[in-house]
Each structure stands twice: as C-alpha cells, then as structure tokens.
Amino acid sequence: MTALTIPAGMPQYDDKPRFDVERVRADFPILGREVNGHPLVYLDSGNTSQKPRQVIDAVARYYAEHNANVARSVHTLGTESTEAYEGARAKVAAFIGAPSVDEVVFTKNATESLNLVAHAFGPHARDPRFRLGPGDEIVISEMEHHSNIVPWQLLCERTGATLRWFGLTESGRLDESNLDELVNERTKIVSIVHMSNVLGTVNATARITARVREVGALLMLDCSQSVPHLPMDVVDYDVDFIAFTGHKMLAPTGIGVLWGRGELLNVMPPFLGGGSMIETVKMTGSTFAPAPARFEAGTPPIAQAVGLGAAIDYLNAVGMDAVAWHDKELTAYALDALDTVPGLRIYGPRVPVGRGATISFTLDKIHPHDVGQVLDSLGVQVRVGHHCAKPICDRFSVPALTRASFYLYTTTEEVDALVRGLDQVRKVFA
C-alpha cells in the first residue's frame, strides 16, 4: 500500500482498531493442520469460514448439558434449551441493530431466507406491497449469487412479473446510471447483494435506497458476505429485509438468518407449514403465529443457533470495526502482491476501497481448476469455478475464475504463500 502522510489532527492509521492475528489463529484448531505436507493456507472463507474453539465448545456444551427440544416443554432441559435458542436470537438482533428480536427469523441458510421472502409475493397476497403479477417488476443485479437469482426467476415464472437487472461497470461495480428507469413505479422489490462473493465489491446502497423509497418498493440486501466482515445496522441502512448465513461468520452450517421489518413479516404468509408456526389448528383451517415463529416450522437448528450466538460473541470480542480494518489492510496487501504475478488479471475493484477481502482472478489462459489443483498440492485452499454467480462470468466473458477470500485469521504470510503458489502454477503449465 502506498504510504500516505495524514495531516496531524486527522484520524491516523494507528488509531484504527486492531487485534493480534496470531492470538486469533490460536483459537482455530483447524489452522494447525497440514494439507498435502504443507501448512494449511485457508483462503476460502468466502465459501465457508473456519470455526474457533469457542464455537465448537458452545455446540458441544449445549449437547452435553442442555439438549432438549425448544418451545414445547415444561421441563427444565426444555426451558434451558429454549433460553439458549432465544438467547442466540437476541445476540443476532443486537449484532445487526434490529429494533426487535421478533424481527430475527432463523432459517437454515441465506438461500432459505431469500426464498422465504420471494415466496411472500404473488397475485393473491393480502398486502398490496406483496401483490405481484404481469406488468410488475423485480430488480436484481448481474453480480448476484444464484441464491438471489433463481428464487426471483421462479417467482416471475409463477406470476408473469418481469425480472430486471442492474448491469456492472468494467471495474466490477454496480452500474447505477439507469437507476431511475430501472427502479420505477412498477418495481415491487429490489434485491441486491451487499458484498459480492466474486468481485468483492461492497455496494453503496444510499442512492438505491432513496429511489426505492421514492417509488414505494421494498429493498432486500443479501448480506451473506457483508455481515461476517462489516459492522451492520439495519436501521442505519434503511432496508426492509436482509439475509445472511451462519457458516460464513464462524458459526456452524445449518443456521441462517432473515431479518425483516416486523410490520412486513407479520403480513407475509408462512413459508413452510408444520409445528411451532401456528396459532391454532382446526380441521377447517389454521391461523398462524406472529413472526418469527410463523416462519420457523418444525424443530429448528437449535445447537446451530447456539453456535451462531457464540460466533457473534467471538466477533464482538474482537470487534467488527477491527475485523473490517484487518480485511482492508490485508486486501490492500493482496492486491499489490497479486499485481506482481505475470499474466494475472483481477476481476472486480483493483483498489481496496468499497470492496471486501475477496479477490477473483485469472492467470494467463490456465484453467482455474488447474490453478486450484496445483495450489492445493501446496496446501493453499482456494475456490475455483463460477462461484454460483454465472452471470458475472458471462458479463466478463470468462468461463471460470480462481478466488482467494480472507477473514480475521488470514495473514500476509498466507497471501505470500498464494503468490508463491501461483508461480508454481505458471511453471507447471508454462
């Protein structure tokens, strides 16, 4: 990173919140292992994060000491279990600045959260904001994960509504030049990714939010990549829904979150039907519990929710401002380091501003599968392929990309190992 002198009296780099990466690493048992005879270099956190001992232990302790089903027992274990599950909900609510814990719906992952919201729209929706038919429009973008594309495509097929897309600029940012035309009186919902899992772009949402409010549409952010890495306040962002997924933020798989404004959640139809989501069930029909229970049919992922609570405790202890700053410094370092590799081309912003710690690239004409395979032989774990975001590959005319993604336990030495590995790749395929 170019060293700049910041005038006295302004916030200095040293004022930034920091943490000791080595101490953090010591909390992650898996980081001590070897892969193919080399120390593990895990650069696939955008795919799923590793788990600290605190989270692993919290899950084990829950099973060893408190396990019972939630919300349906009078006995002590049932009460403890319910408290643990609801306690996790409260932690999530505080973590994202939700005005009420009842606005936090536990799902199994971000994909379910996105589908749940898409499912609320239809020709017969009771609330006009969710009524959707031919002539209505839904807006997403070309940098979406398939999870934020396919549910809307299916919805449009069911209802005859039209799906529209924000384009991307050459540098991998949202093209907002046609915002006023794209988001208009026919728009019912805009659902876009907060941070791209491929390009790393962090979308500035203020202009879009303002336009969405102007036309009376709803706004959803796919925060799968942002909530793990950046401080989030849903009131500040003035959004209607956000989706994210526990496993990318130090928590177990099998737990995701939908946050929505309470007023909206309570006019939405249930997603799955079953136990725990009803008010009363009669043979003539049923009425449904208010959110969040309305959307949590069946036995929920209790231990996973407890793990998510522990993950949030861990992130809070490190501090999300510090995590975000660590990401930024590491990204700046990595962008510079990758720039030295001949034949390497980065897709996405090439400056560490308005982007997160995820970098996708191609290396000459070498197929990313081959890049990933050689890197794996050196212990370096990266993701290769289309990253469940095929429209991005199409936009930039590449069949596949190699992606390195970092987290709070990633070090500059690991970035160096990646760069050395890429040299090796070039040797094999020279």
Partner 1 sequence: MQLDQLYQEIILDHYKRPQGRGLREPFAAGVHHVNPTCGDEITLRVALDGETISDISYDGQGCSISQASASVLYELLNGRKVDDAFAVHAAFVELMGGKGQIEPDEEVLGDAVAFAGVAKYPARVKCALLSWMALKDAVAQAVALEKEEV
Nearer to ligand PLP, 254 or 270 (CB): 254
| 428 touches partner 1 (CB under 8 A) | yes
* Joined tokens for residue 282: 């009669």
Nearer to partner 1, 303 or 392 (CB): 392
| 224 touches ligand PLP (CB under 6 A) | yes
Q: Select from 376, 381, 416, 420 the one that contacts partner 1 (CB under 8 A).
A: 376
Nearer to partner 1, 238 or 376 (CB): 376
Query: Pick from ligand PLP, partner 1, none: which does 374 bind, CB < 5 to 8 A by kind?
Result: partner 1
Nearest to 227 by CA among 134, 94, 52, 360: 94
- As a whole number of angstroms, the distance between CA 179 and CA 257 comes to 29
Contact assessment for residue 208 and residue 176, using Cβ atoms and an 8 Å cutoff: yes
Within residues 302-331, the interface with partner 1 by CB under 8 A covers none
> For 123, left (φ over 0), alpha (ψ -120 to 50), or beta?
alpha
Nearer to partner 1, 138 or 393 (CB): 393
| 245 touches ligand PLP (CB under 6 A) | yes
Give the count of beta carbons closer than 10 Å to the beta carbon of residue 356: 28
Strands 401-405, 383-385: parallel, antiparallel or unpaired by DSSP?
Answer: antiparallel
Nearer to ligand PLP, 144 or 240 (CB): 144
- As a whole number of angstroms, the distance between CA 277 and CA 1 comes to 52
Minimum CB–partner distance for residue 220 and partner 1 (Å)? 27
Binding residues for partner 1, total number by CB under 8 A: 19
- As a whole number of angstroms, the distance between CA 305 and CA 296 comes to 13
Minimum CB–partner distance for residue 5 and ligand PLP (Å)? 37
Minimum CB–partner distance for residue 356 and ligand PLP (Å)? 11
* Joined tokens for residue 49: 């994060």
| 225 touches ligand PLP (CB under 6 A) | yes
* Joined tokens for residue 54: 């605190």
| 368 touches partner 1 (CB under 8 A) | yes
Q: Which stretch binds partner 1 (CB under 8 A): 151-159, 239-247, 286-294, 381-389?
A: 381-389
Cα–Cα distances in Å, from 62 out to 95, 158, 201, 304, 400? Answer: 21, 42, 37, 10, 41
**Residues pairing with 345 in the sheet:** 362
Q: Catalytic: 393?
A: no
Contact assessment for residue 222 and residue 197, using Cβ atoms and an 8 Å cutoff: no
Q: Which residues contribute to the site for ligand PLP (CB under 6 A)?
A: 109-111, 145, 147-148, 193, 197, 222, 224-225, 245, 247, 388
Q: Which residues contribute to the site for partner 1 (CB under 8 A)?
A: 36-37, 367-370, 373-374, 376-377, 384-386, 390, 393, 399-400, 428-429
